[in-house]
Amino acid sequence: MERWSGRVALVTGASAGIGAGLVKALVKHGMKVVGCARNVDKIQKLADELKDEPGTVKAVRCDVSKEEDVLAMFQMIRADPDLGGVDVCINNAGLAHNEPLLTGSTPLWREMVDVNILGVCVCTREAFKSMQKRKVDDGHIIFLNSLSGHRVMPLRAMHFYSATKFAVTGLCEGLRKELREMKSGIRVTSICPRLVKTEFFTRMYKDNEKSNAGFSQSLQPLQTEDVVSTIVFALQSPEHMEILDLLVKPTSEAI
């Protein structure tokens, strides 16, 4: 990770779970981390806790489902003399609602599309523009995808969410092809974990604690650190090597 020391990483959804774990790990490797989320207070608290580490944390309030928020964030990054732009973009923000295909709420479907697909696209586009403008050819764009972007679980609460993650799988491959057409050295990696022990399912089943408890107990979850270490592994891979898809699951389970 030495080559990333002093470089700038953007982590979306940085207030909790995998995002917060990434902020901690990258700062300890000397990176300047811009952590964004709707709840900026949690990121600021994290920044205060990490003030003695080699890197730095800039906490930014940003709702990735709102393009104006994302554009304002990248403008702030450009204007900050200590940052100037983004070298690594980690699209971590995502959400799921318990809204099946046959009975779901259109507004909540739309929110999943806005965050999981359009928010990812806007952040990725602006990160690429930042790299291109500064002639950064060794940047890295990472997507926190899911095994649900490769197969559909027999769980109706997950079906629309799974569709958004299948879209992310397609976006990753499309982005990779566009970059190769440009002869760019920017790398693209999709990280696809199974269930991770975070607030994700608690939020999805917020109105049905019994379903949340039953689902969580039926599967062995990965830990946040498992996914964070996988992302660090992808980042520190040699420049001549590109890790495309990493499917991450407990050893005891089939895909």
CA distances to 38, 54, 112, 117, 148 from 106, rounded to whole Å, are: 22, 45, 10, 16, 21
pLDDT at 239: 85
How far is 66 from 59, CA to CA, in rounded Å? 17
Strands (E), 5-151: 8-12, 32-37, 56-61, 88-91, 140-144
Question: Which residues are known to be catalytic?
Answer: 161
pLDDT at 221: 86
pLDDT at 253: 62
Local structure of 116: helix, strand or coil: helix
Instruction: Return the half-sphere exposure (C-beta side, CA atoms, 13 A cut-off) of residue 154.
Output: 1
pLDDT at 29: 98
pTM of the complete model? 0.92
The structure tokens listed for 97 are 């609602």
How far is 249 from 254, CA to CA, in rounded Å? 8
Q: Averaged in consecutive runs of 10 residues, what is the pLDDT profile of the chain (255 residues)? A: 96 97 98 97 97 97 98 98 98 96 98 98 98 98 96 93 98 98 97 83 62 56 94 94 86 63
Give, as one character, the DSSP assignment of residue 65: T
* 8 Å CB contact between 219 and 195: yes
pLDDT at 212: 47
How far is 43 from 23, CA to CA, in rounded Å? 9
Give the torsion through C-alpha atoms of 21, 23, 27, 31, to 10 deg: 130
Comparing CA positions, the residue from 79, 22, 70, 10 lying closest to residue 230 is: 22
Strands (E), 178-237: 187-193
